[in-house]
Structure 1
Amino acid sequence: MRLVIDGDGSPVKDEVVELGRKYGLPVLIVTSVDHFTTKEYPDFLTFIYVDKGADGADYRIVKEIKENDMVITQDYGLASLLLGKKVRIFHHNGKEYLPETIDSLLTQRYIGGQMRKAGKRTKGPKPFTKADREHFTKILTKVLEESIK
């Protein structure tokens, strides 16, 4: 089992890395070269950098994913591609993407996109708070403890 992060825009990278350390799990962050870093990281953490452009990180995650991995992404489209691959997928708000709910999420995303194309304003996401971060960490910790038993 690995923890795989869709790194473009993920606000919980540090929390996932810390959970990887705590539970002895490898962590993979897939992100665009726009987010290249020279920061030193522990050996259990691997980066894969992809070219700039829409969906590059998503397609690479689909290619790299292995059965029993856990993926953290806010991208509904990526989540829908991964649901059939025997992995668990979580949003940074702590909610798990499920086959029963993915269609409604994709429909909401489509409708929002159509509204924006028509010049209408839609609400963006609320700022990610310390409480949101703690909630995500609590949820993923519980999932990992149940999975490792």
Structure 2
Amino acid sequence: MKIWVDADACPVVIKEILFKAAKRTGVWLTFVANQPIRVPSLQNITSIQVPPGFDVADNEIVRLAEKDDLVITSDIPLAAEVMEKGAHALSPRGEAYSTETIKSRLSMRDFMETMRASGVHSGGPPPLGNAEKQAFANHLDRMLTRYL
């Protein structure tokens, strides 16, 4: 199992949780972004900088992710694509994406995108709270325990 992080929009606190988990377990952790990402000097933690552009980092993650890998992303289309390859996806808010719910989440995302394009402002998600941080850490721990 490897962990791939859609790092351009990943909150710092989630990166810190991932660093600690990778240090504790030795799991391979790779951050993919179109900007430089600072990571600890550990052999199992790396970053990949991709060229700027729409979905370039997402496409790289899809290319690299394999069955049973874990992808950290809030991007629902990216989650759907890696799940088709047999990987798992977890949002930085601690929501594990599932094959049962991903299609409805894609539909809702597309609907909200259409609403925003027509001028309706939804205000975006609330700030990451302690409950979401704890949910993320708990899901991550369960996944690491299951696969390591």
User: TM-score under structure 2 normalisation?
Assistant: 0.91
Write out per-residue CA displacement over residues 76-108 of structure 1, whole angstroms, 9 at most, x where no aligned residue.
Answer: 010111112121111112121112111111111
Residue 60 of structure 1 is matched in structure 2 by 60
**CA positional deviation for 1:39:** 5.9
2:72 aligned partner, one-letter code: I
Residue 46 of structure 1 is matched in structure 2 by 46
Structure 2: which 5+ runs fail to align?
none
1:99 aligned partner, one-letter code: T
Residue 138 of structure 1 is matched in structure 2 by 138
Residue 20 of structure 1 is matched in structure 2 by 22
Structure 1: which 5+ runs fail to align?
none
Distance 1:65 1:39 in 2: 20
Residue 100 of structure 1 is matched in structure 2 by 100
Q: Percent identity?
A: 29
1:125 aligned partner, one-letter code: P
CA-based RMSD of the aligned residues comes to 1.5
Distance 1:40 1:18, change over 3 A: closer
User: TM-score under structure 1 normalisation?
Assistant: 0.90
Is the Cα contact below 8 Å between 2:71 and 2:87 reproduced in 1?
yes
Residue 32 of structure 1 is matched in structure 2 by 34
Distance 1:38 1:79, change over 3 A: closer
